[in-house]
Amino acid sequence: MLDIRIPISALFLGVGALLAFYGAFFHPSTPATANINLDLVWGLVMFFFGLGMGAWTWRSRRSGDAIERRIPADREKTAARSR
């Protein structure tokens, strides 16, 4: 089953990298934005968010799927209550 965090991570990594690249090399900051390069800043924010989502996915896959580990325990609890 596809984990939704994988395409979200890829989307934010790609768009963030493109926006940060554009902000760093092609778009100068303007006085209207207090000389802050918003393209670069938000590109980096999106890129690091994508990295965080990717790390979260990788970590949860390494530790095993928590939902699959809980299902047998929940079934045992339900069976014990119905007795």
Q: Which two tokens stand for residue 61?
A: 């896959």
Residue 30 and residue 16: Cα distance in Å, rounded? 20
pLDDT recorded at residue 33: 76
What whole-number distance in Å separates Cα of residue 62 and Cα of residue 50?
18
User: What would the pLDDT profile of 7-23 be if each residue is shown by its tens digit?
Assistant: 999 999 999 999 999 99
Q: Residue 35 has what pLDDT? A: 82
> Quick one: pLDDT at residue 64?
64
pLDDT digits (tens, 9 = 90+) for 32-74: 778 888 899 999 999 999 999 999 988 887 766 555 555 556 6
